[in-house]
Amino acid sequence: MDFGLHRAAERLRNASRVAVVTGAGVSAASGVPTFRGADGLWSNFRVEELATPEAFARDPRLVWNWYEWRRRLVAGCRPNRAHEVLAAWSRRYPQFTLITQNVDGLHERAGTRNVVRFHGSLWELSCWDRCAGSPERWRDETVPFVELPPRCPHCGGLARPGVVWFGEPIDPRVSARAITALDCDVCLVVGTSAVVYPAAGLADEARNRGALTIEINPEPTDATPRFDLVLQGPAEEFLDRLEAELSSGSRLSSSQ
């Protein structure tokens, strides 16, 4: 395990282009439940039954109740050590992109630069009818909403969460930014079960382009065998240890 950590630190020290892909696990230590962990249920609904356009069309109030619950929960959470280390790297590397599947906004709250929000944000809304008067998405951090479901301020129709639901495409401009970032020296994938595509395929693409790929996760995933290095453990611990290794260069070379 320590060998993997040293090797990862060595490659990170020599890297100038770094891409990091994060999933729900990076926010677990902040108290935000993951989808596929033991807490991945809400009022006996599976997330796949709530995070879809069909579910919203059927029962917008139910779906909004779930998002309202998540917005309240995240509003009371703070970035953890994993977010902090990644934020520091975003300021240190000449080329750094953080591609996150998370919608909680904790990377931005930690001060991370160049965040690509692959699946949108809990803190944005859009018009369900895509009315001509509304922007594609707008920010609204009201917790709780005065009226639930909230309304589009432009047409008075239903507003929807500004997130990408199961079955919806990723905005091509967002994908393009993510794909460009995969031309990198090191690609780290942190805290994702790697089952939701296309995000799950990003590390494979980075590897095809010559990057060293590293996974950080306490559990093996379907993608684990395809990584060059696997650090099996919590993100907040391993990113902290990597940062400690990076800031003690001489110790690193003597331990090789």
Q: Which residues bind ligand NAD (CB under 6 A)?
A: 23-25, 27-29, 32, 34-37, 101-104, 119, 191-193, 196, 216-219, 221, 234-236
CA proximity to 116, closest of 100, 95, 133: 100
The residue among 35 and 64 lying less far from ligand NAD, judged by its C-beta, is 35
Among candidate residues 6, 83, 119, 154, the one labeled active-site is 119
- Shortest Å distance, C-beta 94 to ligand NAD: 27
Closest residue to ligand NAD using C-beta atoms? 25
Q: Is 119 a catalytic residue?
A: yes
The residue among 34 and 252 lying less far from ligand NAD, judged by its C-beta, is 34
The residue among 9 and 50 lying less far from ligand NAD, judged by its C-beta, is 50
- Shortest Å distance, C-beta 187 to ligand NAD: 16
The tokens for 250 are 């001489």
- Shortest Å distance, C-beta 28 to ligand NAD: 4
For residue 100, give the H/E element and its range: strand 95-100
HEC sequence for 143-187: CCCCCCCCECCCCCCEEEEEECCCCCCCCHHHHHHHHHHCCCCEE
The tokens for 156 are 């008075």
The residue among 97 and 252 lying less far from ligand NAD, judged by its C-beta, is 97
User: Virtual CA dihedral for 29, 245, 210, 21, nearest 10 degrees?
Assistant: 10
The SS3 of residue 115 is strand
- As a whole number of Å, the CA-based R_g of the chain is 19
- Shortest Å distance, C-beta 189 to ligand NAD: 10
- Residues belonging to the active site: 119
